[in-house]
Amino acid sequence: MSLKVYNSLTRQKEEFQPINPPYVGMYVCGPTVSGESHLGHARPFITFDVVYRYLMHLGYKVRYVRNITDAGHFEEEGREAEDKISKKAVLEKLEPMELVQKYTNLYHWAMSQFNNLPPSIEPTATGHIVEQIEMIKKIIADGYAYESNGSVYFNVEKYNIDFTAMGQPYGILSGRVLEEQIESTRELDNQEEKRNKSDFALWKKAPAEHIMRWQSPWGEGFPGWHIECSAMSTKYLGEEFDIHGGGMDLQFPHHECEIAQSTVCNHKMPARFWLHNNMITINGKKMGKSYGNQIMLSQMFSGQHPLLEQPYAPSTIRFFILQSQYRSTLDFSNDALQGSEKALRRLMEAFEWLQQQQHIGSANEVDAALDEKVKKLVFDFDSFMNDDLNTAKVIANMFELVPIINSIKDKHIASGALHTDTVALLKKQLGVYILDIFGLQSSRADNNNKLEGVLELLINIRKEAKSRKDFVTSDKIRNELSALGVQLKDEKDGGMSYTIQ
Ligand SMILES: [Zn+2]
Ligand 1 center from residue 163 Cα (angstroms):
22
Ligand 1 center from residue 246 Cα (angstroms):
8
Ligand 1 center from residue 27 Cα (angstroms):
8
pLDDT band at 80 (very low <50, low <70, confident <90, very high): very low
Instruction: Write down the CATH superfamily of domain 289-437.
Output: Isoleucyl-tRNA Synthetase; Domain 1 (1.10.730.10)
pLDDT band at 84 (very low <50, low <70, confident <90, very high): confident
Ligand 1 center from residue 199 Cα (angstroms):
18
Neighbours of ion ligand 1 (CB under 5 A): 29, 229
Ligand 1 center from residue 198 Cα (angstroms):
19
Overall average pLDDT of the 151-163 stretch: 95
Residue 246's pLDDT is 97
Residue 78's pLDDT is 35
Ligand 1 center from residue 229 Cα (angstroms):
5
Beta bridge partners of 66: 28
Cα separation, 274 vs 9, whole angstroms: 6
Ligand 1 center from residue 453 Cα (angstroms):
33
Phi, psi of 485 (to 5 degrees): 90, 15
Ligand 1 center from residue 277 Cα (angstroms):
14
Range name among 337-341, 464-468, 492-496 with the lowest pLDDT average = 492-496
Are 21-277 and 289-437 the same fold in CATH? Answer: no
Ligand 1 center from residue 110 Cα (angstroms):
20
Ligand 1 center from residue 477 Cα (angstroms):
44
In terms of C-beta density within 10 A (0-12 exposed, 13-18 middle, 19 or more buried), how is residue 87 classed? middle
Ligand 1 center from residue 29 Cα (angstroms):
4
CB atoms within 10 A of CB 387: 17
Ligand 1 center from residue 26 Cα (angstroms):
12
Ligand 1 center from residue 438 Cα (angstroms):
25
Residue 422's pLDDT is 98
pLDDT tens-digit map of 187-226: 455 778 999 889 999 999 998 878 889 999 999 999 998 9
The DSSP string of 106-175 is: HHHHHHHHTTPPPPSB--BSGGGHHHHHHHHHHHHHTTSEEEETTEEEE-HHHHHHHHHTTT--TTTTT-
Ligand 1 center from residue 102 Cα (angstroms):
21
Residue 358's pLDDT is 93
pLDDT tens-digit map of 344-365: 999 999 999 999 999 999 999 9
Ligand 1 center from residue 207 Cα (angstroms):
25
Is the predicted pLDDT of residue 445 greater than 60, yes or no?
A: no
> What are the strands of the beta sheet with 200-205, ordered from one edge?
145-148, 151-154, 200-205, 221-223
Beta bridge partners of 445: none
Taking only Cα atoms into account, the Rg of the chain, rounded to an integer number of angstroms, comes to 26
Its pTM stands at 0.86
pLDDT tens-digit map of 368-395: 999 999 999 999 999 999 999 999 999 9
The DSSP string of 355-410 is: HH-SS--BSSS--HHHHHHHHHHHHHHHHHHHBT--HHHHHHHHHHHHHHHHHHHT
The CA-atom distances, in angstroms, between 239 and each of 120, 257, 268 are 18, 15, 7
Distance of CA 391 to the CA centre of its chain: 16
Residue 79's pLDDT is 36
CATH of domain 21-277: 3.40.50.620
In terms of C-beta density within 10 A (0-12 exposed, 13-18 middle, 19 or more buried), how is residue 55 classed? buried
Domain coordinates of the chain in residue numbers? 21-277, 289-437, 443-500
Ligand 1 center from residue 226 Cα (angstroms):
6
Phi, psi of 50 (to 5 degrees): -70, -35
Range name among 146-150, 280-284, 290-294, 451-455 with the lowest pLDDT average = 451-455
Ligand 1 center from residue 254 Cα (angstroms):
6
